[in-house]
Structure 1
Amino acid sequence: MTNQVNQAEINQAVWAACDTFRGTVDPSIYKDFVLTMLFLKFLSDVWREHYELYEAEYGDAPELIAEMMKNERFVLPEGASFYDLYRQRHTPGNGERIDKALHAIEEANITKLRDVFQDISFNSTKLGEEKQKNDILAHLLEDFADERLDLRLAHIGNQDVIGNAYEYLISRFASEAGKTAGEFYTPAEVSELIAELVDPQEGDEICDPTCGSASLLMKCGRQIREKGSKKYALYGQEAIGSTWALAKMNLFLHGEDNHRVEWGDTIRNPKLLDGDDRLKHFDVVVANPPFSLAKWGHATAQDDRFGRFRRGVPPKTKGDYAFILHMIETMKPGIGRMGVVVPHGVLFRGAAEGKIRRKLVEEHKLDAVIGLPEKLFFGTGIPAAILIFKQDKEDGSVLFIDASREFIKGTNQNRLDTEKHIKKIVETYRAREPETDKYSYLAQFGEMAENDFNLNIPRYVDTFEEEEEIDLMAVRAEREALKKELADLDAQMQGYLQELGYLETAQ
């Protein structure tokens, strides 16, 4: 019986593999190499384990075993295994061999892994000249040969461990990447919160038009699995090629085969279309789009063939409402619901954004505005908000929640507690009470109209705390006592200075 390894040991081992690159290669570059090697190791170990199981059952019948292996979830071509590469690690040409292995795997699994490795080259000069590159990659192969990274099911116990390790790496890379981290990662607790708010159900089609590494999509899928069903479909689109590849590998490692994730710019070139070449509609739409993107596609928005900007064209230098309007148009009529992360400026900025905001409120689509704490997101310290939209709202009320003051403080990054903070937000949202003291307020359409459709949360949720009444006579008495104490100290200092001869004694 193989001794099982726990999640913490696997996480520690994969993070230690990064030491091979530190001081030589920037984390924004080496993250793709480490994550891809984890993916290759997983494929190789699963393939090896299944082959050994068939071998134990059918004995010396290689042709029969080969036929059985054709029914596996994926195909690992001969010579493309991690172990083939590991055996040759001390021979020149590691980068070229790894690239050839990845391309062979892609070709053999074209429907699931098409183009996934095209932006990742282990033979890149980013790893240095040939001798240095070969040495680095030899060390990387040795790192993943660590016995803790034996990723056979008998050793890890549950396939979720691999997906969790991948997510762990992505989150660690995000914490090191600074401003660029938002391109590929939404903090896990924020993803969890959004997923609970939109409440995915069995049979739902779920979309994230700016999906990053797909963590938010998978949180929605997990909500359904926890209800006892695997009947759902995940859709996404991602503009950055290397991040799109992360999403595809992430979904694969988590066993999410029922997905369609496209590579391309969602605003300029939406690719999730139906049979009539129109925007596909979804039961659930979620996203954490880039905040206030400057170059989002303003020049062609006026002539958008999908009519996404009929409520108004967002400002040239702020693309927040471009993503919101796209998502609105992709909700299924009558049943669609949507959750999107936005900077607070979306709630109150005027001009074109003010007009768009007014129309969305007038159409009774906005359901809730939830203010989050500062420093939750990688790369920015500003607080953000979550907007919830629904297609089936009957009235124009909007629930405002101010959750900005409740969080666990971290050195560089704050976070939400699942049981305490997330649970409170979700329960408040579902209860939809007229008001909870200093936390939420259910605003009616008329109130928002009176505020000229400014949705800044403090206009609706009163968080004012009365200051303790000051006893002026007590303050005066304290001040007099301090004055006397200061005079006594001054006289004492004068005496010391005279004794030391710094001051002449009065004649």
Structure 2
Amino acid sequence: MTEDQKKKLEQKLWNIANELRGKMNADEFRDYCLGFIFYKYLSERLVNACNDILKDEDGSPTYQTLDENDDATKDIIEALKDEVLGGLGYFLKPSELFSNLAKRGAHTEETDNKEQDIKVDDFILGDLQEVLNNIERSTMGTESEDDFDHLFEELDLTSSKLGRDPDARNALIAKIMLHLDSIDFAISDSESDVLGDAYEYLIGQFAAGAGKKAGEFYTPQAVSTVLAKLVTHRKSRLKSVYDPTCGSGSLLLRVAKEVGKDNIGHFYGQEMNRTTFNLARMNMILHGVHYRNFDLKQEDTLENPQHIDERFDAIVANPPFSAQWSAKKIFESDDRFAQYGKLAPSSKADFAFVQHMLYQLDDNGTLAVVLPHGVLFRGAAEGHIRRYLIEERNWLDAVIGLPANIFFGTSIPTCILVFKKCRENPDNVLFIDASQGFDKAKNQNLLKPEHIEDIIAAYDNRLEIDKYAHVAPLSEIADNDYNLNIPRYVDTFEEEAPIDLAAVTQELKQLDKDMAELDKTIQGFCDELGIEAPL
């Protein structure tokens, strides 16, 4: 698919999403739209798998045309279920396929103005709800049960926001399904990830309209790319990648784009918000990550970590900035925090997330995390933790300052901290001031590919770059009392052009002379008119 075709597809999906947009807020219509896309994906993936098997049958029937009421066909469907369930992790009968339900729910008629008008042909809401429930039921007792459990719970088809009565809701859903059914997502093309890319595009569009809530589920793609490039630096394969605040899973999938999802052994993530957790599971499956290769959990990472015995090659995270946490006294003996001697303050969990991730970072792993600038210089417990990480453990590898206003829902400047337990450059810490490298958009600053490349090149080469990068010896950081505020290390001061006072004096004298001449001219005009001059 060409870039132009991709953009047209994305626009078409966004137009379909807007069928719902006027009826509910961004995070609500996001859940419906993405849920229907996911259902379509599951259907088409199942059809492809079953049709590959049916090619060996006489007459080569297609799965979507099999008659479920025929006794012989029932046996074929059951045999197909046994064969594909282990690989796909779910099953749908022919009547439950997205395309069959969409075609039954609506048809198109040509109107007087030659446009296609959708007419409701049958009531499908009840059947649709049953199909979504059956997808989950089909996984019960299998390895994929946890990955599909309550996956469609956000799709409340009885909501009055979809229409004032069942008929109105049915008409809207039928219309959306028929529009989606007309789109070819090229699922059979193993080299293409059209649907995954389109899904990511929609998540980003929804985030742009969700305001402050967007930070709960989406990291801007450019920032995700920087983090992914940092943790995969000089690596072509990872045993595991982890995100303790995984949101919609975009960071994990961005790492997969850098090295290829087949070059990552396992994906791990944890997310506290149930709706966002469901979004992340859908996102992983839509991007072709097999259910056996990801393990996402819904829990509070700091209070109830779910992967505590695992150690990870790569960790990426964009935790909620300065979130509150309990900081209970019991955590002082928790292995994640005990060695530091202090807990992060209950009003700012930033370093608690860092401590948690460092505990789970493998000895040869890399951690890249986005944090607010306050972590660089705040004192008290945070200052103590910061000093311990540098002076005692020497795990901090780089500090990267990002532009302000690049995240949805907040305009504050942020930074990326890079940590390694076995550092190639143990005698120094790299500081990069990338705060001025952005393009200005209407509501948000944007990191362009050239800005990302500048950051990664500076990290890769680890050189002094005037007004951009500085390699600070550990002694310099100690002299600054472990304050990591970037302007202490990267001097971005621009000298003003020197002023020629003699030239300015001459210019002022000339202005006085010109003013005197002008006054004479005005006096002459006023004399002719017989009025007093405004002197």
- TM score, norm. by length of structure 2: 0.84
CA displacement at 1:213 relative to structure 2? 0.9
1:389 aligned partner: 419
Call closer, same or farther: CA 1:500–1:5 in 2, change over 3 Å: closer
Following superposition of structure 1 onto structure 2, how do residues 135-284 of structure 1 map, counting pairs within 5 Å? 135-145=171-181, 147=182, 149-153=183-187, 158-199=191-232, 200-225=235-260, 230-257=263-290, 258-274=293-309, 280-284=310-314
Q: Secondary structure at the match of 1:265?
A: coil
CA displacement at 1:361 relative to structure 2? 0.8
2:383 aligned partner: 354
Bigger CA drift: 189-198 or 63-72? 63-72
**2-structure distance, mates of 1:108, 1:497:** 97
Q: Secondary structure at the match of 1:232?
A: strand
**2-structure distance, mates of 1:400, 1:281:** 27
CA displacement at 1:345 relative to structure 2? 0.8
**1-structure distance, mates of 2:138, 2:528:** 95
CA displacement at 1:337 relative to structure 2? 1.7
**1-structure distance, mates of 2:521, 2:493:** 47
* Residues 241-295 of structure 1, C-alpha deviations (whole Å, 9 max, x = no match): 1111111011001111211111111011111133xxxxx22111110111111x2
Following superposition of structure 1 onto structure 2, how do residues 421-460 of structure 1 map, counting pairs within 5 Å? 421-433=451-463, 435-460=464-489
**Correspondent of 2:403 among 366, 373, 379:** 373
Call closer, same or farther: CA 1:265–1:472 in 2, change over 3 Å: same
Residue correspondences, number: 489
Q: Secondary structure at the match of 1:283?
A: strand
1:399 aligned partner: 430
Root-mean-square deviation (CA, aligned residues, Å) is 2.8
**2-structure distance, mates of 1:471, 1:5:** 55
Q: Secondary structure at the match of 2:242?
A: strand
**1-structure distance, mates of 2:5, 2:390:** 49
CA displacement at 1:443 relative to structure 2? 1.1
CA displacement at 1:469 relative to structure 2? 1.0
1:83 aligned partner: 99
- Aligned residues of 1:58 and 1:65 also touching (Cα < 8 A): no
* Residues 383-405 of structure 1, C-alpha deviations (whole Å, 9 max, x = no match): 21110001113735211111111
**2-structure distance, mates of 1:405, 1:452:** 26
Q: Secondary structure at the match of 1:272?
A: coil
Q: Secondary structure at the match of 1:470?
A: coil
1:6 aligned partner: 5
2:112 aligned partner: none
2:70 aligned partner: none
The residue identity in structure 2 corresponding to 1:151 is: F
CA displacement at 1:493 relative to structure 2? 5.3
- Aligned residues of 2:434 and 2:455 also touching (Cα < 8 A): yes
Note the residue ranges of structure 2 that are not aligned, 5 or more in a row. Answer: 62-72, 107-119
- Aligned residues of 2:316 and 2:367 also touching (Cα < 8 A): yes
The residue identity in structure 1 corresponding to 2:244 is: P
* Residues 400-431 of structure 1, C-alpha deviations (whole Å, 9 max, x = no match): 1111112222222222232x222222222122
Q: Secondary structure at the match of 1:76?
A: coil
The residue identity in structure 2 corresponding to 1:395 is: P
1:133 aligned partner: 169
**2-structure distance, mates of 1:384, 1:41:** 38
**1-structure distance, mates of 2:431, 2:57:** 63
- Aligned residues of 1:207 and 1:286 also touching (Cα < 8 A): yes
- Aligned residues of 2:32 and 2:154 also touching (Cα < 8 A): no
* Residues 329-369 of structure 1, C-alpha deviations (whole Å, 9 max, x = no match): 1112x212210001111101111111111111111011100
The residue identity in structure 1 corresponding to 2:267 is: L
**2-structure distance, mates of 1:70, 1:495:** 105
State, as a whole percentage, how many aligned pairs show the same letter. 39
- TM score, norm. by length of structure 1: 0.88
CA displacement at 1:445 relative to structure 2? 1.6
The residue identity in structure 2 corresponding to 1:25 is: M
2:349 aligned partner: 319
